Structure 1
């Protein structure tokens, strides 16, 4: 669904749209007319290619919200990238939902999966030789608060709170 001023930015992208991004009607519509002063919600299939698409959507949304602080922007993009990747790799989800919204001086970022994780993720230090395993530690160092909640449908939502005031 493409966003409108009344519905807010609630976007659902198909595997085909993810694979063809940014050469899709959805991408062009969002680049030309992102709704302002609205929370963003985007649902994507669990494809690795969805991660850069979600970063692109997050950038468009932050632009529309006049979020110019580079620390906040970098932290939000890190959160989206790492949590989307974790959901793709570590859950049995068919799709993942990312959400962004402003609340006063805070930027709230959430990523919700559909469940099926083999273990409860937690920040831990990976060895220098490891190519992965540092994501939650990096996020925790970049945000003011980080948490998780279980959803009634069995999924899990990871959330991060980022200061917009430096």
Structure 2
């Protein structure tokens, strides 16, 4: 049975590896074994959560995972605040910062964002389970 996962964590750097661990456990329970899809999920969670920690005034961040047919949907929702938008995906690879969205865009089939009521923002990525 396909069960979505949702975890809400405080905006602390140590929450990122916790969410990666929870995502691995969820993928195991959903029998998602494709390594490229698993790697993409972990990359998306790591980068989007880090962006939310660094670029927003959020107290907590919510990450959601859902399997639908032959793809996965990964969402990371912040609570907004000053500087809620991370750097654009066109960042220069020579720069140490700002490459995360570029890496994500290269690893997923679709990437987007939506504003939430209350000023928060949800970044989402769709990852294929088929080659």
TM surpasses 0.5: yes
Whole-Å separation in 1 of the counterparts to 2:129 and 2:117: 31
Gaps of 5+ in 2: none
Could you tell me the TM-score, scaled by structure 2's length? 0.95
Choose from 44, 54, 62 the match for 1:97: 62
Would the aligned equivalents of 2:56 and 2:84 in 1 still touch at CA under 8 Å? no
Would the aligned equivalents of 1:43 and 1:96 in 2 still touch at CA under 8 Å? yes
Would the aligned equivalents of 1:80 and 1:109 in 2 still touch at CA under 8 Å? yes
Could you tell me the TM-score, scaled by structure 1's length? 0.75
Between structure 1 and structure 2, the one with the greater Rg is 1
Deviation sequence 1:14-46 (CA, Å, 0-9, x none): xxxxxxxxxxxxxxxxxxxxxx63100000000
| CA apart distance, 1:81 | 0.2
Deviation sequence 1:55-96 (CA, Å, 0-9, x none): 000000000000000010000000000000000000000000
| CA apart distance, 1:131 | 2.2
Q: Which residue of 2 aligns with 1:15?
A: none
Q: Which residue of 1 aligns with 2:89?
A: 123
